[in-house]
Amino acid sequence: MRRFSAVVLLAATLGALPVLTAVPARAAHAHCTATACHFDVPPGTYDVKVLLGGETASSTSVTAETRRTLLPETAVEAGERVARSFTVNVRTPEGEPTGADGTPGLDLHLGGSAPALADIVVTPARHARQILLVGDSTVCDQPGDPYSGWGQQLPQYLRKGLSVANYADAGESTVSYLADSRLWATVQPQIRRGDLVLIQLAHNDKTTDGATYRANLETLVAGVRAKGGKPVLVTPIVRRWFNADGTLNNDTALLVNGLGVDHPAVIRSVAAAHDVPLIDLTARTKALVESLGVEASKALYLYNEKRDNTHTSVPGATTYASLVRDELVARHLVPERLLRVG
């Protein structure tokens, strides 16, 4: 492992190119191998600029921390160089709020069919906007394959100047999210004026009555607004549970709990009553899963690997993250210049 000194400007150069030099300031270090870079930086938000490409044709993706996809696979022709930039949130714990702390600093990993990184620069982000995520296991930064939450894949659709701070946590309901000091009590102080806070909690509210569920959503909305943030309510992704006629029109698929509480309907009602932007991910994912049908839709979930019709695969989470990106554009919640569209 090679060691590079770095400061305010943190940089490392791989391959045959010369090491990028920077004027030293406070002590900090970058450590790089052919497939990963580690930067000794404190929690915060950082801009990353990568220069992709090599002597032969390459195809490179970049993930960070707990398997967050920051840059989708990007092809570069032989001898060419392509620059890409993005903004990343560094925190402890680095994944789920109730999970392991992970490693200090920022870890970036190179993937793709033929990865090639010519240069990388990491600098503290100035005035970056952030999207905070409040959710469950279908949203969170899942620690291991083959699982992935859509929040884990959302960063690849964002450009420099906008980061995702994913505070979704597996197994959480509206009740437990508000009660656990590692969750809402930790998230709310992180909200800055103008930040978007996307809230998707429903899958684990299996025994929550309707009045409590509604009140909990209202508490979250009010808490975001109290910090100057902008709440966005998100209805839950569907469960892949087909009727005999190929539709998902049943309580299991559409998140109606054992007490008869129709979670998406309550979310829609709260959004309308409190003038909160709504991303109807239930409707969007229902339409997509039904259009794919019983067999093709298996790839979106972990049916083949785990017989799991609730949690998504990396391709499924990536597809669902793209639906969220589309809604952010359509509802003018984020300037289009900060999103990768198409």
Give the mean pLDDT of 272-286: 98
**pLDDT in the model for residue 341:** 74
Mean pLDDT score, 225-249: 98
The secondary structure of residue 287, as a DSSP letter, is: H
Q: Given a cut of 80, is residue 329 above it in pLDDT?
A: yes
pLDDT score of 7? 34
Which percentage of the chain shows pLDDT scores above 70? 91
Per-residue model confidence (pLDDT) at position 19: 32
Q: For position 29, what pLDDT does the model report?
A: 66
Answer yes or no: is pLDDT of 23 > 60. Answer: no
pLDDT in tens, 183-211: 999 999 999 999 999 999 999 999 999 99
pLDDT band of 246, cuts 50, 70, 90:
very high
Q: How confident is the model at residue 64 (pLDDT cuts 50, 70, 90)?
A: very high
Q: What pLDDT was estimated at residue 9?
A: 45
Average pLDDT over the chain, rounded to an integer: 92
Using the predicted structure, report yes or no on whether residue 233 has a pLDDT greater than 60.
yes
- Is the per-residue pLDDT at 253 higher than 60? yes
d(CA 210, CA 77): 56
User: For the chain, what's the residue count?
Assistant: 342
Residue 8 has pLDDT above 70, yes or no: no
pTM for this prediction: 0.92
| AA letter at 314 | V
- Quick one: which H or E segment has residue 54? none
pLDDT at 31: 86
Query: Where would I find the beta strands (DSSP E) of the chain?
Result: 2-6, 10-13, 28-32, 36-39, 44-52, 58-64, 68-76, 82-90, 106-114, 117-124, 129-135, 162-166, 196-200, 230-234, 278-279, 301-302, 308-312
Say which range, 27-31, 33-37, 226-230, has the weakest mean pLDDT.
27-31
Average pLDDT over residues 162-190: 98
Separation between Cα atoms, residue 275 and residue 285, nearest integer Å: 23
Contact 107, 38 (CB under 8 A): yes
Q: What separation, in Å, do the N-terminal and C-terminal C-alpha atoms of the chain show?
A: 37
Asked if 46 and 113 count as a contact pair (C-beta separation under 8 A), the reply is no
Alpha-carbon radius of gyration of the chain:
21
- Determine the pLDDT at residue 149: 98
Q: How far apart are CA 253 and CA 297, in angstroms?
A: 13
**Beta-ladder partners of 243:** none
CA proximity to 313, closest of 325, 301, 327, 297: 301
The pLDDT, as a whole number, for residue 5 is 31
Pinpoint the alpha helices (H) of the chain: 150-153, 174-179, 184-187, 210-226, 263-273, 281-296, 303-306, 314-330
- Model confidence pLDDT, tens digit, residues 109-155: 999 999 999 999 999 999 899 999 999 999 999 999 999 999 999 99
Residue 342, classed as helix, strand or coil, is: coil
217-224, long-range: CB within 8 Å, 24+ apart, which pairs? 217/174, 217/266, 217/267, 217/270, 218/270, 218/274, 219/178, 220/134, 220/174, 220/177, 220/178, 220/184, 221/270, 221/274, 221/276, 223/184, 223/188, 224/188, 224/191, 224/197, 224/199
Task: Say whether pLDDT at 98 is over 90.
Answer: yes
Q: Given a cut of 60, is residue 100 above it in pLDDT? A: yes
